Amino acid sequence: MAQKHVGYHVLPEHYPYVAKALLGAIAEVMGEAVNDEVLAAWGEAYWFLAGLLQEREHGIREAIEAVDGGWNGWRAFEIAERTVESAVITSFVLRPKDGGKVLPHKPGQYLTLRLTTPDQGEIRRNYTISNAPNETAYRISVKREEGGQGGSRFLHDVARVGTTIQLTPPSGDFFLPQAQERPVVLLSGGVGLTPMVSMLETIADKHPELETAFVHGALDGASHAMDGHVRALAKAHGKTSVATFYAQPAANDEAGRTHDHDGLITVDWLKANTPFETADFFLCGPRPFLKAFVGGLSRAGVASERIHFEFFGPADEALAV
Ligand X SMILES: Cc1cc2nc3c(=O)[nH]c(=O)nc-3n(C[C@H](O)[C@H](O)[C@H](O)COP(=O)(O)OP(=O)(O)OC[C@H]3O[C@@H](n4cnc5c(N)ncnc54)[C@H](O)[C@@H]3O)c2cc1C
> Judged by CB, which is closer to ligand X: 111, or 276?
111
Q: Which of 15, 110, 127, 246 is catalytic?
A: 15
Window 72 to 111, contacts with ligand X (CB under 6 A): 110
Q: SS3 string of the chain?
A: CHHHHHHCCCCHHHHHHHHHHHHHHHHHHHHHHCCHHHHHHHHHHHHHHHHHHHHHHHHHHHHHHHCCCCCCCCEEEEEEEEEECCCCEEEEEEEECCCCCCCCCCCCCEEEEEEEECCCEEEEEEEEECCCCCCCCEEEEEECCCCCCCHHHHHHHHCCCCCEEEEEEEECCCCCCCCCCCCEEEEEEHHHHHHHHHHHHHHHHHCCCCCEEEEEEECCCCCCCCHHHHHHHHHHHCCEEEEEEECCCCCCCCECCCECEECCCCHHHHHHHCCCCCCEEEEECCHHHHHHHHHHHHHCCCCHHHEEEECCCCHHHCCCC
Q: At what angle do helices 193-206 and 227-237 cross, to 10 degrees?
A: 30
When binding is defined by CB under 6 A, the residue of 91, 128, 198, 202 that contacts ligand X is 128
* β-bridge pairing 261-262 and 121-128: unpaired
Region of 188 please: left (phi>0), alpha (psi -120 to 50) or beta: beta
Q: How far apart are CA 224 and CA 172, in angstroms?
A: 26
When binding is defined by CB under 6 A, the residue of 86, 90, 91, 126 that contacts ligand X is 126
Size of the site for ligand X (CB under 6 A): 22
Site pattern 260..299 for ligand X (x: CB under 6 A): ----------------------------------------
User: What's the min distance (Å) between Cβ of 104 and ligand X?
Assistant: 18
Stretch that binds ligand X, among 69-77, 94-102, 135-143, 200-208 (CB under 6 A): 135-143
User: What's the min distance (Å) between Cβ of 207 and ligand X?
Assistant: 22
> Judged by CB, which is closer to ligand X: 226, or 302?
226
Site pattern 190..229 for ligand X (x: CB under 6 A): -x--x-----------------------------------
When binding is defined by CB under 6 A, the residue of 125, 139, 237, 261 that contacts ligand X is 125
- The yes-or-no answer on residue 57 being catalytic is yes
Window 141 to 170, contacts with ligand X (CB under 6 A): 141-143, 145-153
User: What's the min distance (Å) between Cβ of 273 and ligand X?
Assistant: 26
> Judged by CB, which is closer to ligand X: 102, or 276?
102
Window 168 to 187, contacts with ligand X (CB under 6 A): none
Q: Which of 8, 55, 57, 135 is catalytic?
A: 57
- The yes-or-no answer on residue 127 being catalytic is no
Site pattern 227..256 for ligand X (x: CB under 6 A): ------------------------------
Instruction: Name the residues annotated as catalytic.
Output: 15, 57
Give the footprint of ligand X on this chain (CB under 6 A): 110, 125-128, 140-143, 145-153, 191, 194, 312-313
